[in-house]
Structure 1
């Protein structure tokens, strides 16, 4: 096993006694630079600071994983490109403000791109192109993961020792160590130096790590057997139950998450069995058949995720998150299809080698796709906003079911521009709801409520006044507040307050919530602070309120609410 791994070790790699010291200094200085460039106390970091901080995080890390004593020019260029890409993404994210809705996904796409590019570069893809040896790429994928995880664990242990030493010195009234450890600059330098030193030691032991890689893949290949058996039973059960059971499963997002997770696990375990070449694959027939079953099962699982995603898009339309989900599912389907076709093309002959070839091609394609998506070429918020508005205008979604708040808060500037157009449209109801959503200063509820549930709440509402403007304000407030009127509720007009706004008592379950409405403004929900809402909902002895209860405001030395002749709540005057 050790000899096989030695063949996969990169030819340019050699032990470098100064590597731990060099990487400790490199990443320690990078940590200090990040500390000096970052202003963590500021509400918004200036884009130039964020860009330089990202460059000093990812550029030195890329150099640490790739530099060799006799080969440093190309790694330096590669690290510079990585720093440039991540700096550009950081600049774009911090300068985006609220104009976009999917900034975290840009960062995720950049990380995926550089993570895939790293082993490809280490294997020499930039020079060899498609002649790059698969075993070299696969070797670097595993050794990078193992050495990175090991260096991270060493950094954590180092911090534990530093904290213990600081506490030990503090016990004898020597606080200088604890004071230094508490400094932000020390944390960045110490973390970078510890990670670099550990990474340098581990990178000098790639042959040993390669042996550990074989052990890990052996353990994973054993796990492949029960997973393959379980998936075979699952697929047979689906075939026996009919396609309807599969279609019903796509109504919930849970199958999407489960199928993607199992597909990823299957991908990892298949590659743990097929290794770098046919001569490394175990002769155990059970393991070989388990790998074949998993390879064939990835595609149906990815297809289930695709159908689930398509079902939700058809029902709710596009959103930035769903568009990114479509991209992820498309990649999963591509891998699944490649793994499914590989055994069929040659009638099981040489299918493992075709899977390895597919891995190389798909890794390059995924890297390129992630890089393109990280660039400012597509605005998923604008695409989603156009789709949602088109669904509304075409009648595919009813006005009561349309989530105007989502356009205000989840689609960036494109969503707000779409709301502004709807607010100026000819449809009075749509215009009023769009204007109300556009005027919101804070979103109080994020989940999308089904139209039937909203209609049930509105049916519970009884307004005991005739003012049409006020009725419209109260109705829109209840429509936009999913916590209102789950049970029979009554709205009472308490007249104008000192600030000129109309006061309304919303009575539900014997409890009173006071709201104020500016009838001259848009019919949006009033601003209610969390403290006031908590006070409104405070527990007290409340009368039993039914659907037909008589709810009224009575005169006394002051005024208060009565339910069936019983006082409810505290007097408000």
Structure 2
């Protein structure tokens, strides 16, 4: 007879051994996929990582949900979680593929997998349901008996189990390396050799992780107690955060909102604060009525934090709206807008629950249960290509360029190339070959040559190397016009940079220049630096040679101003073997002891 999932297991050694073996096999399979298929371009970007995530996420989900006598249900739930995570790669590709910054598609896919698994775990608990536990029969009835304590409890238990399992696997690997070194002391190197094999390491880590899940799940009451203790400890932070947010909001009438828009980080800061506030509110509310805090201070703090969500989300929404109005849509701003919408729904729901009649703790728990369904569905939707933020943002930016809201010179071609995914890259290719505007064609064509997202785009280089450079540049021994390539070289970080005065010694026709870069006046403690730059085959090289900084640079700059700057050929002695120079430069023959050697 199957043991009811709502009661903890009294020990199931078989599950521990099965999960250890399964963990080793799945980890080995993932390693082989990465080794054998990851080198094939047809598999590398999507199919190989997708298959790896199907096995990895599915295996972890199986280890978290498998109960005695409920194998079919566990396998089905694990397949659903694994398919959701794997689908993210099949739809979106590898993280960072043609897209700079956090990969929110992958985040949403993993979130949907995690929340779906939690709902399956709560369904499996049943809490009084009479439908069969070994199949999906009566799914509608099971959804009707979902209880917040089960959902919230599994969410926290899964996080604790995964963290403890990862720590145990790391400990197993560390012990293996220690034993390998101990055996090596007596000239037994077999374990060292095994640990050099990635296949053996993967199987060892997988076995350790699987065994940890089995062992810890056999001690469910300990995990439940640890979860409750964690909540009890965290809830004492609610008054601290409530007072801090109250002081912040109370200061706004006196400081004004203008400083918020100058930082550029208002939206993520407000959303992070709102997330932390929501987290601490639920620490006070607890899983069930018996877990609720009886402290008036903690209850009042939780209510205040729940109500503070509205103004914080409002500030984030206004800040994000300003950025969109000024610079148009981008994938990052669309993601921020999505997070703001979700946060707004949560803030309104929390305010309604808190401001209602007595018993708002219970209403808040019911609200959280509904939010879990919302987040699981939204995460699944956003992990698919049905809502392609890259495509939407690219179309909006091209429309702004076409209708003249942004000039060709001010358009951010580099962002489209690196931050808008494949649609952005396709748009740059199209602009470079088919735009009717010559400026757009030239700037888009230059953008296609960029290989590093931190390189200046052609439009940025033109602005920085124009009047902005002239205003802070002194040319010696006499002011002369500078060609565009030298100007573009000077605004790099290892020459004049972006800010601060700059001294350049350059004579037209010479293949080198000496640059003295002075720090911005606002940089306390910063010192000038001197560097040498040169040309290679008539083109200014990206390389530079550091010469001096600080007081030495000041003294060198004074000599540079006198015009005594020249490059001279030198003679050196060095050993050659087989026509190749070997070793360091040797002293010149006949050097007087105590005097410096020739370079």
Q: TM-score, normalised by structure 1?
A: 0.79
Gaps of 5+ in 2: 125-138, 517-529, 570-599
Question: Which among 339, 344, 347 is matched to residue 336 of structure 1?
Answer: 347
Equivalent position of 1:456 in the other structure: 468
Equivalent position of 2:413 in the other structure: 404
Q: Matched residue of 2:35: which SS?
A: coil
> CA distance change for structure 1 residues 457 and 37 in 2, over 3 Å: closer, same or farther?
same
> CA distance change for structure 1 residues 39 and 104 in 2, over 3 Å: closer, same or farther?
farther
Q: Matched residue of 2:230: which SS?
A: helix
Is 1:30–1:56's contact at 8 Å kept on the other side of the alignment? yes
Question: Which among 293, 304, 308 is matched to residue 293 of structure 1?
Answer: 304
Question: Which among 217, 220, 224 is matched to residue 238 of structure 2?
Answer: 224
Question: Which among 29, 34, 38 is matched to residue 38 of structure 1?
Answer: 34
CA distance in 1, matches of 2:251, 2:271: 19
Q: Matched residue of 1:123: which SS?
A: helix
Q: Matched residue of 1:191: which SS?
A: helix
How many Å apart are 1:233 and its aligned residue?
2.5
Q: Matched residue of 1:18: which SS?
A: helix
Q: Matched residue of 2:263: which SS?
A: coil
Q: Matched residue of 1:69: which SS?
A: coil
> CA distance change for structure 1 residues 308 and 545 in 2, over 3 Å: closer, same or farther?
farther
Is 2:84–2:112's contact at 8 Å kept on the other side of the alignment? no
Question: Which among 186, 209, 220 is matched to residue 206 of structure 1?
Answer: 220
CA distance in 2, matches of 1:164, 1:334: 52
Is 1:263–1:298's contact at 8 Å kept on the other side of the alignment? yes
Is 2:381–2:387's contact at 8 Å kept on the other side of the alignment? no
Residue 386 of structure 2 corresponds to residue 377 of structure 1: yes
Residue 145 of structure 2 corresponds to residue 134 of structure 1: no
CA distance in 1, matches of 2:114, 2:338: 17
Relative to structure 2, which stretch is displaced further, 471-480 or 402-411? 471-480
How many Å apart are 1:114 and its aligned residue?
0.9
Equivalent position of 1:351 in the other structure: 360
Question: Which among 195, 200, 221 is matched to residue 186 of structure 1?
Answer: 200
Equivalent position of 1:554 in the other structure: none
Instruction: For 1:63-212, list aligned pairs within 5 A.
Output: 63-94=62-93, 104-124=103-123, 127=140, 128-212=142-226
> CA distance change for structure 1 residues 334 and 130 in 2, over 3 Å: closer, same or farther?
farther
How many Å apart are 1:166 and its aligned residue?
1.6
CA distance in 2, matches of 1:88, 1:513: 50
Is 1:65–1:144's contact at 8 Å kept on the other side of the alignment? yes
Q: Matched residue of 2:287: which SS?
A: coil
Q: Give CA-to-partner distance per residue, 1:300-327, whole Å, 9 cap, x none.
A: 2222333333333333333223322332
Cα RMSD after superposing both structures = 3.9
Gaps of 5+ in 1: 1-7, 496-502, 519-525, 550-561
Relative to structure 2, which stretch is displaced further, 470-479 or 171-180? 470-479
Relative to structure 2, which stretch is displaced further, 250-259 or 223-232? 250-259
Is 1:99–1:414's contact at 8 Å kept on the other side of the alignment? no
Q: Give CA-to-partner distance per residue, 1:219-239, whole Å, 9 cap, x none.
A: 11222122222222322233x
CA distance in 2, matches of 1:479, 1:386: 32
Is 1:445–1:482's contact at 8 Å kept on the other side of the alignment? no
Residue 50 of structure 2 corresponds to residue 51 of structure 1: yes
Question: Which among 314, 318, 325 is matched to residue 336 of structure 2?
Answer: 325
Q: Give CA-to-partner distance per residue, 1:221-271, whole Å, 9 cap, x none.
A: 222122222222322233x42xx6234213323333332332222112111
How many Å apart are 1:539 and its aligned residue?
4.7
> CA distance change for structure 1 residues 437 and 164 in 2, over 3 Å: closer, same or farther?
same
Is 1:491–1:504's contact at 8 Å kept on the other side of the alignment? no
Q: Give CA-to-partner distance per residue, 1:107-136, whole Å, 9 cap, x none.
A: 222111111112111011854335411111
Is 1:473–1:517's contact at 8 Å kept on the other side of the alignment? no
Is 2:33–2:48's contact at 8 Å kept on the other side of the alignment? yes
Question: Which among 258, 261, 264 is matched to residue 275 of structure 2?
Answer: 264
CA distance in 2, matches of 1:376, 1:270: 34
How many Å apart are 1:137 and its aligned residue?
0.7
Equivalent position of 1:523 in the other structure: none
Relative to structure 2, which stretch is displaced further, 194-203 or 87-96? 87-96
CA distance in 2, matches of 1:261, 1:384: 24
CA distance in 2, matches of 1:259, 1:289: 21
> CA distance change for structure 1 residues 564 and 176 in 2, over 3 Å: closer, same or farther?
closer
Is 2:96–2:103's contact at 8 Å kept on the other side of the alignment? no
CA distance in 1, matches of 2:439, 2:555: 35
Equivalent position of 2:442 in the other structure: 432
Residue 287 of structure 2 corresponds to residue 276 of structure 1: yes
Is 1:251–1:312's contact at 8 Å kept on the other side of the alignment? no
CA distance in 1, matches of 2:493, 2:437: 23
CA distance in 2, matches of 1:339, 1:11: 31
> CA distance change for structure 1 residues 396 and 215 in 2, over 3 Å: closer, same or farther?
same
Instruction: For 1:294-309, list aligned pairs within 5 A.
Output: 294-309=305-320
Q: Give CA-to-partner distance per residue, 1:402-455, whole Å, 9 cap, x none.
A: 332222333234323333444443444333322222333545526996998665
Is 2:238–2:281's contact at 8 Å kept on the other side of the alignment? yes
Q: Give CA-to-partner distance per residue, 1:22-81, whole Å, 9 cap, x none.
A: 211111111111122222884966343323222221111111111111111122111112
> CA distance change for structure 1 residues 475 and 181 in 2, over 3 Å: closer, same or farther?
closer
Relative to structure 2, which stretch is displaced further, 264-273 or 450-459? 450-459
CA distance in 1, matches of 2:396, 2:159: 40
Equivalent position of 2:455 in the other structure: 445
CA distance in 2, matches of 1:506, 1:136: 71
Residue 424 of structure 2 corresponds to residue 415 of structure 1: yes
